[in-house]
Copies of this chain bind each other. A is one copy, B any other.
Amino acid sequence: MTVWDRPEPPPPPVPLDRERIVAAAVALADEGGLTAVSLRKVAARLNAGPMRLYGHLSTKDELFDLMVDAVQAEILPDTQPGDWRETLRVVAHRTRRTVLRHEWLADLLGGRPTLGPNGLAVTETQLAALDGLADTDTVLRAVETVGAYVIGALRREVANLRAERATGLSKRDWQRAHGPHVTRMLATGRFPALARAVHDGTEVDAETSFTTGLDWVLDAVATRLPRPPA
């Protein structure tokens, strides 16, 4: 073997730490979705063999947890907003922006308890905003309810986004979009209310839809706060 056919020396291995691993995983997921995240590919990005990761993680699910917590940092508001309602609204909208930036987050949100530092910080922000406005149990219920709505709404939004993308830029044409299947279904007459809704419904953009539902839920919360802020 001469110098000429000696293979390129491998790049010097990067010293690993959780932060770097998670950053690489997030980058991969942003580019190709959750399924593009494999321990081999993450390790390859760091010029390492797969097993090196196991010094810092014990399982792939743990990596997912760390990824979720990492991007949850983007949810925390930079400045404390005004009243409780504004706080919950801002957190919800920042959650939405984060999910749209990292679509894979929709697949993970709500799938496991979020106990990382950033996840706890988000919860802390919400609880602090409602602190003193009602008894602890009501406050907890409020945060849970709003959180449930946000997760469900964002999952649906991303699901629709992907479906539209997959069937080729189809916006409101539900029917044509998802192939003749749905059209045929609606034509059977077994779903009259649904058919009418599809026919009469206005096309509303996802953000408005999200905001409207959120306001409804926030109204519901407001009703349960016995001590409105002065």
Residues of A within 8 A of B (CB): 107, 109-113, 115, 117, 120-121, 123-124, 127-128, 131, 136-137, 139-141, 144-145, 147-153, 155-156, 159-160, 162-163, 178, 181-182, 185, 190-194, 196-197, 200-202, 204, 209, 212-213, 216-217, 219-221, 223-224
Which are the 10 A-B pairs with shortest beta-carbon distances? Answer: A148-B152, A152-B152, A110-B155, A151-B152, A127-B193, A145-B213, A216-B220, A148-B153, A220-B220, A136-B200
Residues of B within 8 A of A163 (CB): 112-113
Q: A113 contacts B145, CB within 8 Å?
A: no
Copies of this chain, tallied across the complex: 2
Partner of A159, one of B110, B156, B191: B110
Most buried by B among A112, A123, A178: A112
Q: Given contacts A200-B136, A216-B217, is CB(A124)–CB(B193) below 8 Å?
A: yes
Residues of B within 8 A of A212 (CB): 141, 145
Q: Given contacts A144-B153, A145-B216, A201-B136, is CB(A159)–CB(B193) below 8 Å?
A: no
Q: A160 contacts B216, CB within 8 Å?
A: no
Q: A117 contacts B185, CB within 8 Å?
A: yes
Residues of B within 8 A of A185 (CB): 115, 117, 120
